[in-house]
Amino acid sequence: MTDALEILAAQHAHIDGLLVALRASEAQRTLLVGELADYVTAHLAAEQVLYPQLSATLSSVVHDELLVEHREIKRVLANLLWLDADDTRFEPTLETLVILLGGHIAWQDGQLFESVAEGLPSTTLAALGEMVHDEFESMRCPDLARAA
């Protein structure tokens, strides 16, 4: 088991890969959108397990902003799930999601995780890693989790 930050960073990389695949493959869009929705939803739930543990590193304003970002990502993702791949709204909705996830991931990987790594001992990060992992796995759709 790795620490919470390593787990979340690996999930970010997987999300980036799903977005690349989704943008590149019109033939598999329905399957990929379902997989992305499952993975991102579980990932955001896992992040929310971590946030309360970061009160020394994360101000209440930043915490609230992260939760607003989570809601917006989930809203756009839900909209994308309702669209057929050939719907004219699909591409703009996908691009909005790419922008939202890209900004969210870049800030966490580039800033938040650095300050958390400096502020928490490795034993705490390892314990949080177990919590993050368990929450992520509990939120996954079993059929999609096996396919990933």
DSSP state of 44: H
Q: For tokens 């390892």, name the residue.
A: 126
Chain segment 28-45, per-residue pLDDT in tens: 888 899 999 999 999 999
Taking the C-alpha atoms of residue 6 and residue 120, their distance in angstroms, rounded to an integer, is 14
Q: The domain containing residue 131 runs over which residues?
A: 4-147
Domain count, the chain: 1
**Residues of the chain with pLDDT > 90: what percent?**
70
23: burial class by Cβ within 10 Å (0-12, 13-18, 19+)? Answer: middle
Taking the complete model, does pTM exceed 0.75, yes or no? yes
Chain segment 5-20, per-residue pLDDT in tens: 999 999 999 999 999 9
- Check: CB of residue 79 under 8 Å from CB of residue 108: no
DSSP state of 57: T
